Amino acid sequence: MEAVQKEMTQRKICCVAGARPNFLKVAPLIAQFRRQGDISVYLIHTGQHYDTTMSDAFFEELEIPAPDVHLGVGSGTHGRQTGRIMERMEPILLAEDPELVIVVGDVNSTLAAALVAVKLQIPVAHVEAGLRSFDRTMPEEINRVLTDAISSLLFCTEPAAVENLRREGIGRDKIFLVGNVMIDSLIRRLEKARSSDILGRMGLKPRGYAVLTLHRPSNVDREEAFLKIVQALEVICRDVDVVFPVHPRTRQRIAAGPAGERLGTLAGLHLVEPLGYSDFLKLMMDSCAVLTDSGGIQEETTFLGVPCLTLRNNTERPITLEIGTNRLAGTEPDSILEVWRDLRSGKWKPDGRIPDLWDGRAAERITAVIRRYLGIQG
C-alpha cells in the first residue's frame, strides 16, 4: 500500500506562468490538480511581470500557491527576455525532470518555456492553443504559432482555434476543444467581485462609466498612435466617465509625451493603478462598455455580456465577434467613435450569449486529458 502511495505521489508535471494573464489561467488548473492529489505541480514563475499589482496581488487573490521557483527575469527586449527565461529554466527542468510542461497563453514566457521543455524532450501542453490574429507584427502571434508547432497537447477555447491548428497540419489527436480556463477563474471569483466596493470608492454609478485598458506596443509605444486614441477619448469622456487602470508599460508612455499630457487634462477620466482581479471584474460588469486592446478582456466581457470595443484591427478571438459582445473599433478616432455612437444610440446591443464550454469546467477537462496522456486512471 505504501509503495503504491509512493508511486502515486511521484508523478510530477510543471506549470509555467510569467505575466498577469497567465496567473488567471494557471490558477484553476493548479487547483484542480491539487484536488485530485496524485500529480504534483511544480510551479515556475518566470518573473516577466514582477510589480506587486501585476503579480503578487494575483497570486494572493486567486489563491495560487507560492511558486516553487521564481526566475526573476524582469523586463527587457524580446530576445533578451526570452533568452533569459530559457537560460534560467533549463537547469530547473533538468533537475526536476517533470513528465510534462504546461504553458498558457501567448506571452514571451509561454514560448520560452515551451522551447526549453521540448528540446529536453519533455512534452508540452499548450492551454489556449490555436488562436490566430494572422498579424505577425504582434509579438504574441509569433509566440502562439511557434508554441503550437512544438506542443504535444493543444487545448482550445473556441472552434476557430481548432480549425487554425488543423490548417497548420497539426493532428486531430493532439487537439482538444475544452473551453476557457480564464472563464473558470472568472466564475470562481464572481461572488467576491459582486461584493467589491470599488464603485463606491470611486464615486461611480452602475452603467454610468466605461472602462479602458491599453498596453499594446502598437497603440502606446508610438506617440502618433497613442494620440489618435486620446483624440477619441476626448469625445467619449464628454458622454461618460472613463476608468483607466494603467499598465506599467503605458504608465511609462504617459509620463513621456504629449499623449499623456492631453490625457491628464480630460475631465471624467480616472487614471488609476492596475487593479486587483475582483475589483476589476466588478468594474467591468457594472460598466456601460469596455474599451481595450487586451486579448483576455474581449473574452471576459463576452462572458459578462458587456459591450467591448476592441482598439485593434483584428482579433485572435473571433467567437467574441460572432456572439456580438465585441466589435473591432480599430485605432483611428473616426472608427472608434463610429462604434461608440452605435452603442450610445442603441444600434449595437449585445444579446448576452455565452460560448459553448465557457462554463467554469475547462480545467476539469484539461486535467482529464492530461491524466489520460500520462496513463493515469480515473
Q: Which is nearer to ligand UD1, 49 or 84 (CB)?
A: 49
Cell digits of residue 221 = 509605444
CB of 96 to ligand UD1, least distance (A): 24
Cell digits of residue 19 = 505575466
CB of 37 to ligand UD1, least distance (A): 32
- Tell me the CA end-to-end span of the chain in Å, nearest whole number: 18
Task: Identify the burial level of 182 via C-beta atoms within 10 angstroms of its C-beta, where 0-12 means exposed, 13-18 middle and 19 or more buried.
Answer: buried
- How big is the CA angle at 40 (ends 36 and 46), to the nearest 5 degrees? 125
The helix (H) or strand (E) run that includes residue 40 is: strand 40-45
Q: Which is nearer to ligand UD1, 50 or 176 (CB)?
A: 50
CB of 125 to ligand UD1, least distance (A): 19
C-beta of residue 293 within 8 angstroms of C-beta of residue 216: yes
CB of 267 to ligand UD1, least distance (A): 28
CB of 55 to ligand UD1, least distance (A): 6
CB of 124 to ligand UD1, least distance (A): 17
C-beta of residue 123 within 8 angstroms of C-beta of residue 100: yes
**Distance of CA 83 to CAs 145, 216, 323, 334, Å?**
18, 21, 39, 40
Which residues are at the interface with ligand UD1 (CB under 6 A)? 19-21, 48-51, 54, 75, 106-108, 139-140, 215, 247-249, 294
List the alpha helices (DSSP H) in the chain.
Answer: 2-9, 20-36, 56-61, 78-96, 108-119, 139-149, 159-167, 181-194, 198-202, 217-220, 223-239, 248-256, 258-264, 277-285, 296-304, 319-323, 333-344, 362-373
Q: Which is nearer to ligand UD1, 241 or 316 (CB)?
A: 316
Q: Which is nearer to ligand UD1, 20 or 365 (CB)?
A: 20
Q: Minimal CA–CA distance to 232: which of 202, 259, 199?
A: 259
Cell digits of residue 78 = 524580446
Active-site amino acid positions: 215
